[in-house]
Amino acid sequence: DTGVSQNPRHKITKRGQNVTFRCDPISEHNRLYWYRQTLGQGPEFLTYFQNEAQLEKSRLLSDRFSAERPKGSFSTLEIQRTEQGDSAMYLCASSLDDRFLSSGNTIYFGEGSWLTVV
Amino acid sequence: RKEVEQDPGPFNVPEGATVAFNCTYSNSASQSFFWYRQDCRKEPKLLMSVYSSGNEDGRFTAQLNRASQYISLLIRDSKLSDSATYLCVVNPHSASKIIFGSGTRLSIRP
Protein backbone atom coordinates (compact mmCIF):
# COMPACT_ATOMS: atom_id res chain seq x y z
CA ASP A 1 0.00 0.00 0.00
CA THR A 2 1.60 3.28 -1.08
CA GLY A 3 -0.99 5.64 0.37
CA VAL A 4 -0.81 7.87 3.44
CA SER A 5 -0.65 5.77 6.57
CA GLN A 6 -1.75 6.88 10.03
CA ASN A 7 -1.61 5.20 13.39
CA PRO A 8 -3.08 4.51 15.74
CA ARG A 9 -6.42 4.53 13.98
CA HIS A 10 -8.30 4.87 17.24
CA LYS A 11 -7.24 6.19 20.62
CA ILE A 12 -9.27 6.55 23.78
CA THR A 13 -7.53 8.46 26.51
CA LYS A 14 -8.32 10.03 29.82
CA ARG A 15 -8.40 13.78 30.12
CA GLY A 16 -5.02 15.14 31.03
CA GLN A 17 -3.02 12.38 29.33
CA ASN A 18 -0.71 12.95 26.39
CA VAL A 19 -1.27 11.29 23.03
CA THR A 20 0.85 11.02 19.91
CA PHE A 21 -0.21 10.22 16.37
CA ARG A 22 2.07 9.19 13.57
CA CYS A 23 1.73 9.79 9.85
CA ASP A 24 3.71 8.23 7.02
CA PRO A 25 3.10 10.18 3.79
CA ILE A 26 3.25 8.95 0.22
CA SER A 27 6.95 8.42 -0.34
CA GLU A 28 7.64 11.00 -3.05
CA HIS A 29 5.53 13.71 -1.41
CA ASN A 30 7.53 16.40 0.35
CA ARG A 31 4.53 18.24 1.77
CA LEU A 32 2.71 16.91 4.79
CA TYR A 33 -0.42 18.38 6.40
CA TRP A 34 -2.34 17.84 9.58
CA TYR A 35 -6.06 18.59 9.76
CA ARG A 36 -8.65 18.08 12.46
CA GLN A 37 -12.26 17.22 11.77
CA THR A 38 -15.23 17.14 14.09
CA LEU A 39 -18.72 15.88 13.33
CA GLY A 40 -20.56 17.95 10.76
CA GLN A 41 -17.56 20.10 9.91
CA GLY A 42 -15.03 20.04 7.15
CA PRO A 43 -11.37 19.38 7.92
CA GLU A 44 -9.74 22.30 9.74
CA PHE A 45 -6.14 23.07 8.93
CA LEU A 46 -3.66 22.63 11.80
CA THR A 47 -0.19 22.75 10.29
CA TYR A 48 1.94 21.75 7.35
CA PHE A 49 5.51 20.86 6.53
CA GLN A 50 7.66 21.23 3.46
CA ASN A 51 10.22 18.49 4.01
CA GLU A 52 11.29 18.93 7.64
CA ALA A 53 10.37 22.62 7.87
CA GLN A 54 7.07 23.54 9.54
CA LEU A 55 5.88 26.35 7.28
CA GLU A 56 2.58 27.28 8.83
CA LYS A 57 0.71 26.65 12.02
CA SER A 58 -2.94 27.47 12.60
CA ARG A 59 -4.11 29.66 15.44
CA LEU A 60 -6.29 26.67 16.31
CA LEU A 61 -3.15 24.88 17.42
CA SER A 62 -2.71 25.73 21.08
CA ASP A 63 0.58 25.31 22.87
CA ARG A 64 -0.57 21.84 23.92
CA PHE A 65 -0.19 20.71 20.32
CA SER A 66 3.14 20.08 18.68
CA ALA A 67 4.02 18.52 15.37
CA GLU A 68 7.35 17.37 14.06
CA ARG A 69 8.78 15.95 10.89
CA PRO A 70 12.39 15.42 11.87
CA LYS A 71 13.78 13.81 8.74
CA GLY A 72 11.29 15.08 6.24
CA SER A 73 9.56 11.74 6.03
CA PHE A 74 7.08 10.66 8.72
CA SER A 75 5.49 13.14 11.07
CA THR A 76 4.13 13.03 14.61
CA LEU A 77 1.39 15.11 16.18
CA GLU A 78 1.45 15.24 19.97
CA ILE A 79 -1.32 16.57 22.15
CA GLN A 80 -0.38 17.22 25.74
CA ARG A 81 -2.81 17.38 28.67
CA THR A 82 -5.72 16.32 26.49
CA GLU A 83 -9.12 17.94 26.97
CA GLN A 84 -12.54 16.65 25.97
CA GLY A 85 -12.67 19.29 23.26
CA ASP A 86 -9.72 17.61 21.58
CA SER A 87 -11.93 14.65 20.65
CA ALA A 88 -11.93 14.58 16.86
CA MET A 89 -10.54 12.80 13.85
CA TYR A 90 -6.99 13.88 13.10
CA LEU A 91 -6.23 13.65 9.42
CA CYS A 92 -2.84 13.60 7.82
CA ALA A 93 -2.39 14.37 4.14
CA SER A 94 0.51 14.69 1.76
CA SER A 95 1.22 16.24 -1.61
CA LEU A 96 3.94 17.17 -3.99
CA ASP A 97 5.35 20.64 -3.41
CA ASP A 98 3.76 23.91 -4.44
CA ARG A 99 5.02 23.79 -7.98
CA PHE A 100 2.62 20.92 -8.50
CA LEU A 101 -0.20 22.00 -6.21
CA SER A 102 -2.47 23.12 -9.00
CA SER A 103 -5.53 21.76 -10.66
CA GLY A 104 -4.97 18.09 -11.15
CA ASN A 105 -2.46 17.75 -8.34
CA THR A 106 -3.84 17.88 -4.87
CA ILE A 107 -3.48 16.39 -1.43
CA TYR A 108 -4.20 12.82 -0.44
CA PHE A 109 -5.45 11.84 2.97
CA GLY A 110 -4.76 8.99 5.29
CA GLU A 111 -7.65 7.20 6.93
CA GLY A 112 -7.42 9.39 10.01
CA SER A 113 -6.79 8.85 13.69
CA TRP A 114 -9.85 9.03 15.89
CA LEU A 115 -9.27 10.51 19.32
CA THR A 116 -11.77 10.21 22.14
CA VAL A 117 -10.96 11.98 25.39
CA VAL A 118 -13.01 10.75 28.34
CA ARG B 1 -16.71 35.56 6.73
CA LYS B 2 -15.45 32.01 6.24
CA GLU B 3 -12.84 31.52 3.55
CA VAL B 4 -14.88 28.77 1.91
CA GLU B 5 -18.64 28.52 2.37
CA GLN B 6 -21.05 25.78 1.41
CA ASP B 7 -24.72 25.09 2.00
CA PRO B 8 -24.62 22.27 4.57
CA GLY B 9 -27.78 20.64 3.23
CA PRO B 10 -28.89 17.98 3.57
CA PHE B 11 -30.03 17.58 0.02
CA ASN B 12 -32.45 14.67 -0.17
CA VAL B 13 -33.22 13.75 -3.79
CA PRO B 14 -34.65 10.71 -5.58
CA GLU B 15 -32.46 8.36 -7.52
CA GLY B 16 -32.02 9.56 -11.09
CA ALA B 17 -32.41 13.24 -10.21
CA THR B 18 -29.95 15.98 -11.04
CA VAL B 19 -28.54 17.90 -8.12
CA ALA B 20 -26.20 20.87 -7.94
CA PHE B 21 -24.11 22.38 -5.18
CA ASN B 22 -22.42 25.74 -5.03
CA CYS B 23 -19.49 26.90 -2.99
CA THR B 24 -18.17 30.44 -2.55
CA TYR B 25 -14.65 31.48 -1.65
CA SER B 26 -13.40 34.77 -0.27
CA ASN B 27 -9.86 35.05 -1.65
CA SER B 28 -10.04 36.33 -5.20
CA ALA B 29 -6.43 35.29 -5.77
CA SER B 30 -7.20 31.61 -5.18
CA GLN B 31 -5.56 29.44 -7.74
CA SER B 32 -6.87 25.93 -7.61
CA PHE B 33 -10.12 24.30 -6.72
CA PHE B 34 -11.33 20.81 -6.03
CA TRP B 35 -14.33 18.79 -5.00
CA TYR B 36 -13.78 16.03 -2.48
CA ARG B 37 -16.21 13.35 -1.42
CA GLN B 38 -16.34 12.06 2.14
CA ASP B 39 -18.30 9.04 3.30
CA CYS B 40 -19.39 8.73 6.90
CA ARG B 41 -16.42 8.28 9.23
CA LYS B 42 -14.00 7.97 6.31
CA GLU B 43 -11.29 10.24 5.00
CA PRO B 44 -11.99 12.77 2.21
CA LYS B 45 -11.17 11.54 -1.26
CA LEU B 46 -10.62 13.60 -4.37
CA LEU B 47 -13.66 13.60 -6.62
CA MET B 48 -12.44 16.02 -9.25
CA SER B 49 -10.39 19.10 -9.85
CA VAL B 50 -12.12 22.21 -11.14
CA TYR B 51 -10.65 23.86 -14.20
CA SER B 52 -11.27 27.40 -15.39
CA SER B 53 -13.04 26.20 -18.51
CA GLY B 54 -15.22 23.77 -16.59
CA ASN B 55 -14.79 20.05 -16.73
CA GLU B 56 -16.81 16.88 -16.79
CA ASP B 57 -16.17 13.40 -15.50
CA GLY B 58 -18.98 11.03 -16.35
CA ARG B 59 -22.07 12.17 -14.49
CA PHE B 60 -20.18 14.91 -12.67
CA THR B 61 -19.61 18.42 -13.98
CA ALA B 62 -17.60 21.11 -12.20
CA GLN B 63 -17.65 24.80 -13.03
CA LEU B 64 -15.61 27.75 -11.84
CA ASN B 65 -16.81 31.35 -11.89
CA ARG B 66 -13.89 33.56 -10.92
CA ALA B 67 -15.82 36.81 -11.30
CA SER B 68 -18.38 35.74 -8.72
CA GLN B 69 -15.92 33.60 -6.77
CA TYR B 70 -17.85 30.39 -6.73
CA ILE B 71 -17.50 26.85 -7.90
CA SER B 72 -20.25 24.38 -8.57
CA LEU B 73 -20.73 20.65 -8.83
CA LEU B 74 -23.52 19.09 -10.86
CA ILE B 75 -24.42 15.44 -10.50
CA ARG B 76 -26.66 13.97 -13.17
CA ASP B 77 -28.63 10.72 -12.97
CA SER B 78 -27.82 10.40 -9.28
CA LYS B 79 -27.21 6.95 -7.83
CA LEU B 80 -27.75 5.65 -4.33
CA SER B 81 -23.97 5.37 -4.05
CA ASP B 82 -23.64 9.14 -4.52
CA SER B 83 -24.91 9.63 -0.97
CA ALA B 84 -22.05 11.31 0.86
CA THR B 85 -20.76 14.69 1.99
CA TYR B 86 -19.23 16.80 -0.76
CA LEU B 87 -16.43 19.12 0.31
CA CYS B 88 -15.45 22.21 -1.62
CA VAL B 89 -11.70 22.78 -1.48
CA VAL B 90 -9.71 25.88 -2.35
CA ASN B 91 -5.99 26.48 -2.53
CA PRO B 92 -5.59 30.23 -1.97
CA HIS B 93 -2.16 30.28 -3.54
CA SER B 94 0.41 27.72 -4.40
CA ALA B 95 2.50 28.13 -1.26
CA SER B 96 -0.27 27.74 1.27
CA LYS B 97 -2.45 25.13 2.84
CA ILE B 98 -5.64 23.90 1.27
CA ILE B 99 -8.89 25.12 2.81
CA PHE B 100 -12.02 23.02 3.08
CA GLY B 101 -15.62 24.05 3.24
CA SER B 102 -17.84 22.48 5.86
CA GLY B 103 -19.35 20.15 3.30
CA THR B 104 -22.77 19.58 1.76
CA ARG B 105 -24.58 16.41 2.71
CA LEU B 106 -26.33 14.57 -0.08
CA SER B 107 -28.76 11.73 0.45
CA ILE B 108 -30.17 9.83 -2.53
CA ARG B 109 -33.40 7.96 -1.87
CA PRO B 110 -34.66 4.98 -3.90
Task: Give the pLDDT score at A102.
Answer: 53
Q: How confident is the model at residue B94 (pLDDT cuts 50, 70, 90)?
A: low
Euclidean distance between CA atoms A87 and B31, whole angstroms: 33
Euclidean distance between CA atoms B53 and B63, whole angstroms: 7
- Is residue B16 within 8 A of residue B75, CB to CB? The reply is no
Q: What is the DSSP letter of B33?
A: E
- Is residue A13 within 8 A of residue A117, CB to CB? The reply is yes
CB–CB of A42 and B102 under 8 A? yes
Q: Of residues B71 and B94, which shows the higher confidence score?
A: B71
Kindly list the residues of chain B whose beta carbon comes within 8 Å of any beta carbon in chain A: 4, 6, 8, 31-34, 41-46, 49-51, 87, 89, 91, 94-103
Task: Give the pLDDT score at A60.
Answer: 78
CB–CB of A110 and B43 under 8 A? yes
Q: What is the pLDDT of residues B21-63, one digit of tens each?
A: 999 999 888 888 999 999 998 999 999 989 888 899 999 999 9
Q: What is the pLDDT of residues B66-85, one digit of tens each?
A: 999 999 999 999 999 999 99
Total count of residues recorded for chain A: 118
Task: Give the pLDDT score at A2.
Answer: 74
Candidates A9, A89, A106, A116: best to mutate against B (most CBs of B within 10 A) is: A106
Task: Give the pLDDT score at B53.
Answer: 86
CA distance A29 to chain B (A): 15
Task: Give the pLDDT score at A105.
Answer: 65
CA distance B2 to chain A (A): 12
Residues 48-67 of A with CB under 8 A from B: 48, 55-56
Q: How do beta strands B104-109 and B11-14 pair? A: parallel
Question: Among A49, A44, A12, A13, which residue's Cα sits nearest to residue A32?
Answer: A49
- Is residue A35 within 8 A of residue A43, CB to CB? The reply is yes
- Residues of chain A predicted below pLDDT 50: none
CA distance B101 to chain A (A): 6
Question: Among B77, B73, B57, which residue's Cα sits nearest to residue B65?
Answer: B73
Facing residue for A42 by CB, picked from B34, B51, B103: B103
Q: Number of A:B CB contacts under 8 A? A: 64
Find the residue in B nearest to A104 (Cα): B49
Decide: helix, strand or coil at residue A13. strand
